[in-house]
Chain A
Amino acid sequence: MAARHKSVETKYMEERDAVLRGLRGLDRRTFLKVLAASAGAVMSKGLITPHSFQLVEVANAAPDKTAEATGMAGKPPFTFAYISDTHLYPRTLNQRFVRGAVKAVEDVNALDPQPDFVLFGGDLAQTGRHEELELGRQILAELKAPVKMMVGEHDWFYDLGDSWKDMFGPPNYSFDWKGVHVVVLMSVHEKDFWTARKLTPAERMGIVAGLDNGIQSRFEVGDEERKWLSDDLAKVPHTTPLLVFSHSPLYKYYRNWNFWTEDAEQVQAILKPYKHVTVIHGHTHQMLYNQIANISFYGMLSTAWPWPYAPTGLPPLTIQMNRADPFDQFDGLGDGQLNVRPDGLADKIYNLWDRNPVSVKADYLISHGKVARPPAPQFASY
């Protein structure tokens, strides 16, 4: 074979790169013109599937009609970015996951304008060792924007949070940001399965680290922290938009893999009086979104590895992302942004590495799929 055959994907990526190279140095108006023209050209060739090469709105949210209608106009919109589930081993053992984490930091640092803050979604470490957390802390220290830390089970179950708390403070806290009340939860408590079995900290961590290890308990926010949440919200008016960050999804997706929060219904009940609630969670390593009553849920991407969709329990509103290509280390991974609208709801951009970003609008979720449907995958789960 003389010249190596170029796959459709390769040709597509080359065209895309050429367009993007041509865009450097253009002002915004010209940028949009070129982008529209090139998208049109590609479309006219019939090369594209419905979801590829779509224009994605990455500008900050403009004041929208919903906001005016709900009387929320006037609250400043803002953007925050996220990085999640880096699962770092010590640098000497594993460079692959370090590359992912560093790539995400570079992505976020390249955002212009910079986000108001960066949410780290938990599972900084893979096996909860101090060395792993410290490596993560150093990598995240390169971020230009302030970082809001959240804990995951991989950070916690070696020393039950001692190292993490030393480095980052309490695992649950709240703050107010431009009219939105933000709550960060520690949602990955587990009932004690280790004492009776006389497990070492390393064994305990190993069991929790295994998704399909049935020995561990299911995640829960727990009585104490739900009480804390109720107390925290006692002073927050029900008209204030809430942003809740939790590592595990605050609903029940798939129990066997702990894509699950055991007391999810009780937490949802605490959030129920609020008109606009958005929950951002990690742990599931996939494009995942859901709407339960007044609560919109968005899952975050990982920078370490993607997870397949669970065999059952996928929220009907979630449109699967294309299966990840195992031959591409970064496929199915990424980071993302949330554009908080003036009414406090948030549109989400999944910044998938080596793919076009996918935008999921709050309108899609609150309309229960009637409007703004995200693109369908070509290759869903087997």
Chain B
Amino acid sequence: MTRRSIALVTAAGCAAILAAVAYAPQVLRAQQAQAPLPIHQVPQAKDGGVVVMLCDGKTSMEVKGLKTGESMSHAQAVEVTRELMAQWQREHPNEKWQMAQTDESSQPVPAPSAASGADVSKPSSTVPSMEAGAKPPAKGMQQGDTYASFTDRDYKVWKNETDNFVAEGKRIFHSDKELGGTIGVSCDMCHPDASNTHPETYPKYQVQLQKVALLRDMINWCIENPVKGKAFDPNDPKLRALEAYILAQRKGVPLNYGKH
């Protein structure tokens, strides 16, 4: 479990950029658990560019030639990040940012209440974080396992990822072109809202195929026959997304494999 972020706050006070550096998250999470998010005062630009700031709320530099609202190229953003970090290092010669990936001492994050008394030497506790910490367990609940360390933000990110995956499946489901169809037929024409796909009934013996079929076998059958396309490889991202969409439409329906 790592947390890799430095927020670069622009003069406009927006557009945080994520970079692959972690700042000893245990401490921060413990100390920031209930604290409001810090508001950084970003200096005015002097040369007509945009000022960006590290998430310590202090180290900043001006990106010349960049107008407010414009995006940096990836290469430029990497260069700016490198320069900010170099600046921070000059100002903190005896301290170091930890790269979470290479930090062998990095341990599964303990729950905040367990971590609050822990001795953590670095970095300076004044360094703020953009993230709220995990909630302490409610009274009467167990604590300290892997899942207890996840934050609301984690859950939001995961939900977003999952919903995007399902949405991608929905898009393919509704597009004869994405399905590779050749006669203008898409899944939704017979299965609005993925109705009558009954994914909860697989695996089952599919009489017409004379074998036990999984949902993906039936998806591929439909793609080859009514849709008149080519069956997807079982690992094809499109087939995976279609499965995700179809299953997501049957949330709450009991699994009932083998049902005819």
Of A76-84, A101-109, A192-200, A322-330, the one touching chain B: A322-330
Residue in B184, B196, B260 whose CB lies within 8 Å of A308:
B196
With known contacts A211-B192, A256-B193, A94–B183 Cβ distance under 8 A: yes
Q: Are B184 and A89 in contact (CB under 8 A)?
A: yes
A381 at the interface (CB under 8 A from B): yes
B185 surroundings in chain A (CB, below 8 A): 94, 96
In the complex the two chains form, what is the Cα distance from A314 to B192 in whole Å?
16
CA distance A93 to B196 in the complex (A): 26
Q: Provide the bound-state CA to CA distance between A323 and B183, in Å.
A: 24
A27 to chain B, nearest CB (A): 40
Asked if A212 CB lies within 8 Å of chain B CBs, one says yes
Which partner residue on chain A sits nearest B198 by CB separation?
A: A382
In contact, B207 and A7 (Cβ under 8 angstroms): yes
Q: Are B184 and A382 in contact (CB under 8 A)?
A: no
B98 at the interface (CB under 8 A from A): no
Q: Is the CB of B174 within 8 A of A210?
A: yes
B118 at the interface (CB under 8 A from A): no
Q: Please, which residues of chain A bring their CB within 8 A of the CB of B127? A: none
Q: Does B201 contact A (CB under 8 A)?
A: yes
What 0/1 readout, one digit per residue, does chain B (154-193) give for beta carbons within 8 Å of chain A? 0000000000000000000010000000011100111111
A96, A306, A307, A382 interface centre (most CB from chain B within 10 Å)? A382
Q: Which residues of A contact B226 (CB under 8 A)?
A: 96, 305, 326, 329
B207 and A307 form a contact (CB under 8 A):
no
With the chains together, A184 CA to B191 CA distance in Å? 29
Interface residues on B, range: 20 to 34
A212 touches B190 (CB 8 A): no
In this assembly, does A168 line the interface, its C-beta being within 8 Å of a C-beta of chain B?
Answer: no
Report B-chain residues with C-beta under 8 Å of the C-beta of A213: 174
A257 within 8 A of B: yes
User: Once the chains bind, are B192 and A305 in contact (CB under 8 Å)?
Assistant: no
B188 touches A210 (CB 8 A): yes
**Bound Cα distance A367, B194 (Å):** 36
Given the known interface contacts A210-B174, A327-B208, A382-B201, the answer about A126 and B184 at a Cβ–Cβ threshold of 8 Å is: yes
Asked if A46 is at the interface of the complex by the 8 Å CB criterion, the answer is: no
Band of interface residues on A: 20 to 34
Say how far A203's CB is from chain B's closest CB, in angstroms: 14
Q: In the complex, A112 Cα to B147 Cα: how many Å? A: 73
Judge whether B196 and A305 touch: CB under 8 Å.
no
The chain A residue sitting closest to B260, CB to CB, is: A379
Q: Give the contacting residue for B190; candidates A210, A256, A307, A382; CB below 8 A.
A: A307
* Contact call B192/A94, Cβ cutoff below 8 A: no
Residue among A210, A212, A257, A310 with most chain B CB within 10 A: A212
**Nearest Cβ on chain B to A375's Cβ, whole angstroms:** 20
Q: Does B247 contact A (CB under 8 A)?
A: no
Tell me which residues across on chain B come within 8 A of A237, comparing CB atoms.
Answer: none
Nearest Cβ on chain A to B152's Cβ, whole angstroms: 29
B195 within 8 A of A: yes
Asked whether A326 and B222 contact (CB < 8 A) given A212-B188, A382-B201, the answer is yes
A89 surroundings in chain B (CB, below 8 A):
183-184
Whole-angstrom distance between the alpha carbons of A7 and B205 in the complex? 14
How far, in whole Å, are A31 and B222 apart by their CA atoms in the complex?
41
Residues in A with CB closer than 8 Å to B183 are 89, 93-96
Which chain B residues border A210 with CB–CB below 8 Å?
174, 188, 192
A311 at the interface (CB under 8 A from B): yes
Question: Which residue of chain B has the shortest Cβ distance to A7 in the bound complex?
Answer: B207
Distance in Å from the Cβ of B140 to the closest Cβ of chain A? 40
- A34-89 contacts to B (CB < 8 Å): 89
Q: How far is the CB of B245 from chain A (nearest CB, A)?
A: 12
- Contact assessment for A308 and B195 in the assembled complex, using a CB-CB cutoff below 8 Å: yes
A306 touches B201 (CB 8 A): no
Closest B residue to A206 by beta carbon equals: B174
Neighbour of B189 across the interface among A93, A305, A379, CB < 8 A:
A305
Mask, B240-260, CB within 8 Å of A = 1, is: 000000000000000000011
Chain B residue with the shortest CB-CB distance to A310 = B195
Q: Which residues of B sit under 8 angstroms from A310, Cβ to Cβ?
A: 195
Contact B192 A257 (CB under 8 A): yes
- Which residues, 269 to 319 on A, are CB-close (under 8 Å) to B? 305-308, 310-311
Kindly list chain B residues whose C-beta atoms are within 8 Å of the C-beta of A257: 192-193
CA distance A381 to B192 in the complex (A): 14
Encode A213-240 as 1/0 by CB contact (under 8 A) with B: 1000000000000000000000000000
**A212-B192 in contact (CB<8A):** yes
Residues of A within 8 A of B184 (CB): 89, 93-94, 126
Give bound CA distance, A126 to B183, whole Å.
12
Q: Which residues of B contact A305 (CB under 8 A)?
A: 189-190, 226
**Chain A, Cβ-Cβ closest to B195:** A308
Q: What is the CB-to-nearest-CB distance from A362 to chain B, in angstroms, rounded to a whole number?
A: 30
Given A95-B183, A308-B196, output 10 extra A-B contacts at Cβ < 8 Å: A94-B183, A126-B184, A210-B192, A211-B189, A212-B192, A305-B226, A308-B190, A311-B195, A329-B226, A382-B259
Interface residues of B (CB under 8 A from A): 174, 183-185, 188-193, 195-196, 198, 201, 207-208, 221-222, 225-226, 259-260
* 3 nearest A-B residue pairs (beta carbon): A308-B196, A212-B192, A211-B192
Jot down 5 A-B pairs with beta carbons below 8 A, ordered by A. A94-B185, A210-B174, A326-B190, A326-B221, A329-B226
